Amino acid sequence: MQIRALYDQNGKILAAVHLDAAKAAPHRHPQPHPRHGQNVGDFTVPDEYTHLTFEQACAQLRVKVEGKLATLWPH
């Protein structure tokens, strides 16, 4: 599962778009735009979380930034 996530400096996902669904119907999926202190990035949900729904994955994962690399991690 691919997502585009808007996240804060603590890695909390504030908004997200399911990219797999957005590719099928791009006009139906608004894109998140970061404000001050926020970032946006595209991520692959780790294999051990692919059984979750999009909403569950966004609620249970956060963005972990190490240097220039950002990945999804459990809370």
Counting beta carbons within 10 angstroms of the beta carbon of residue 57, is it exposed (0 to 12), middle (13 to 18) or buried (19 or more)? buried
Q: Where are the domains of the chain?
A: 2-74
pLDDT digits (tens, 9 = 90+) for 15-74: 999 888 766 666 666 778 899 999 999 999 999 999 999 999 999 999 999 988 999 999
Give pTM, 2 decimals.
Answer: 0.84
**CA 1, 66, 31 angle in degrees (round to 5)?**
40
The pLDDT of residue 75: 83
Distance CA 38, CA 19 (A): 19
Task: Write out the two tokens for 38.
Answer: 């926020």
The pLDDT of residue 68: 87
The pLDDT of residue 40: 95
pLDDT band at 6 (very low <50, low <70, confident <90, very high): very high
